């Protein structure tokens, strides 16, 4: 069997170093997603979108914050930046944005840009592991019985192997879309995690790797740390609106 055209990795012990490390960290922190073993960390914010004819124009969180009179900062969360939990899935704020940031899924365009940077920060760009959440409903029957890497919070993933650039692949059967939720090169120089409930992605890596991500113009990236909270209601600067 394959996912996204990539072969299944049955030896899930290749990810045991991740499972053990994140299980020891406080839930709801960066360290519970990306092991606290790297020199530096970053948070990649999934863009919102404005629909312009046939084009989907990417809109930064900073732009949305400016329109809403809220503060753009490294720990900002989408409900607080926009002023409402409904903006996660249902409503929009035209003419600024029409489509909310992808939840639990790294957009293909963003994944491709990240992969081009990250490929320069591993000695083995042709050897990368990708983990996709095993609990997705679109192919539950197909993945049932496959070996999975156990992760806290029922985040167990099925593993596949490929090149770093395969991060832009869709690991779900069409017409569904799902990126890898976890990916890292076999030399463990960095790791990327996209939690199923979040609208941003976290990366741990070398100082040079994170610095290049931060300097990439086509990405909205901020610094992060293992102790940072990641919950959608964990904005310490902007008022968090009440849940409807």
Q: Mean pLDDT, to the nearest integer, of 4-16?
A: 95
Do 24 and 134 belong together in one domain? Answer: yes
| DSSP code, position 99 | B
- Identify whether the C-beta of residue 128 lies closer than 8 Å to the C-beta of residue 185: yes
pLDDT per residue as tens digits for the range 55-67: 999 999 999 999 9
- Identify whether the C-beta of residue 59 lies closer than 8 Å to the C-beta of residue 47: yes
- Identify whether the C-beta of residue 98 lies closer than 8 Å to the C-beta of residue 92: yes
- Identify whether the C-beta of residue 230 lies closer than 8 Å to the C-beta of residue 76: no
Do 173 and 127 belong together in one domain? Answer: yes
pLDDT-derived band at 243, boundaries 50, 70, 90: confident
- Identify whether the C-beta of residue 139 lies closer than 8 Å to the C-beta of residue 231: no
As for how many domains the chain has, the answer is 2
Do 211 and 149 belong together in one domain? Answer: yes
Enter the pTM of the model.
Answer: 0.97
Do 198 and 169 belong together in one domain? Answer: yes
Residue where a domain stops, chosen among 30, 57, 88:
88
Of the chain, the end-to-end C-alpha distance in Å amounts to 42
pLDDT at residue 31 tops 80: yes
DSSP track, 203-227: EEE-HHHHHHHHT-TTS-EEEE-TT
Do 58 and 36 belong together in one domain? Answer: no
Structural domain harbouring 139? 2-44+103-224
Do 73 and 32 belong together in one domain? Answer: no
Share of the chain above pLDDT 90, in %: 91
The per-residue pLDDT for 155 is 95
Q: Is residue 236 part of a domain?
A: no
Do 66 and 180 belong together in one domain? Answer: no
Measured N-to-C along each axis, helices 108-118 and 207-214 cross at an angle, to the nearest 10 degrees, of 140
Which tokens in the block code for residue 93? Answer: 């704020």
Do 72 and 162 belong together in one domain? Answer: no
> 136 vs 30, which has greater pLDDT?
30
The per-residue pLDDT for 2 is 84
pLDDT-derived band at 158, boundaries 50, 70, 90: very high
Q: Is residue 7 part of a domain?
A: yes
Residue where a domain stops, chosen among 56, 88, 120:
88
Q: Mean pLDDT, to the nearest integer, of 17-37?
A: 97
Q: Mean pLDDT, to the nearest integer, of 160-187?
A: 96
Give the list of residues 6+ apart from residue 188 with CB closer than 8 angstroms, or none.
Answer: 17
Q: Is residue 244 part of a domain?
A: no
Do 114 and 197 belong together in one domain? Answer: yes
Q: Is residue 199 part of a domain?
A: yes
Q: Is residue 187 part of a domain?
A: yes
The per-residue pLDDT for 186 is 98
State how far the Cα of 80 lies from the Cα of 65, in Å rounded to an integer. 9
| DSSP code, position 89 | T
Share of the chain above pLDDT 70, in %: 100
Q: Mean pLDDT, to the nearest integer, of 131-148?
A: 89
Residue 139 CB-half CA count within 13 A:
20
Q: Is residue 233 part of a domain?
A: no
Do 79 and 191 belong together in one domain? Answer: no
Do 139 and 203 belong together in one domain? Answer: yes
Q: Is residue 62 part of a domain?
A: yes
Q: Is residue 134 part of a domain?
A: yes
pLDDT per residue as tens digits for the range 34-51: 999 999 999 999 999 999
Do 155 and 202 belong together in one domain? Answer: yes
The per-residue pLDDT for 100 is 97
């Amino acid at each position: 069997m394959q996912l996204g055209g990539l072969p299944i990795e049955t030896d899930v012990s290749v990810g045991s170093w991740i499972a053990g490390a994140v299980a020891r960290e406080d839930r709801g922190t960066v360290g519970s997603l990306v092991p606290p073993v790297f020199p530096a960390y970053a948070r990649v914010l999934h863009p919102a979108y404005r629909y312009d004819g046939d084009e989907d124009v990417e809109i930064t969180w900073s732009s949305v914050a400016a329109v809403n009179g809220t503060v753009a900062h490294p720990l900002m969360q989408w409900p607080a930046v926009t002023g409402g939990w409904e903006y996660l899935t249902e409503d929009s704020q035209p003419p600024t944005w029409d489509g909310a940031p992808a939840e639990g899924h790294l957009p293909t365009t963003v994944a491709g840009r990240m992969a081009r940077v990250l490929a320069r920060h591993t000695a083995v760009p042709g050897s990368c592991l990708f983990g996709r959440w095993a609990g997705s409903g679109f192919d539950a029957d197909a993945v049932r019985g496959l070996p999975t890497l156990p992760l806290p919070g029922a985040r167990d993933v099925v593993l596949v192997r490929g090149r770093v650039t395969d991060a832009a692949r869709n690991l779900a059967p069409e017409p569904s879309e799902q990126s890898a939720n976890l990916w890292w090169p076999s030399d463990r120089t960095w790791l990327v995690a996209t939690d199923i409930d979040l609208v941003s992605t976290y990366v741990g890596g070398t100082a040079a790797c994170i610095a290049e991500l931060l300097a990439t113009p086509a990405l909205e990236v901020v610094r992060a740390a293992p102790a940072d909270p990641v919950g959608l209601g964990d904005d310490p600067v902007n008022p968090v609106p009440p849940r409807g």
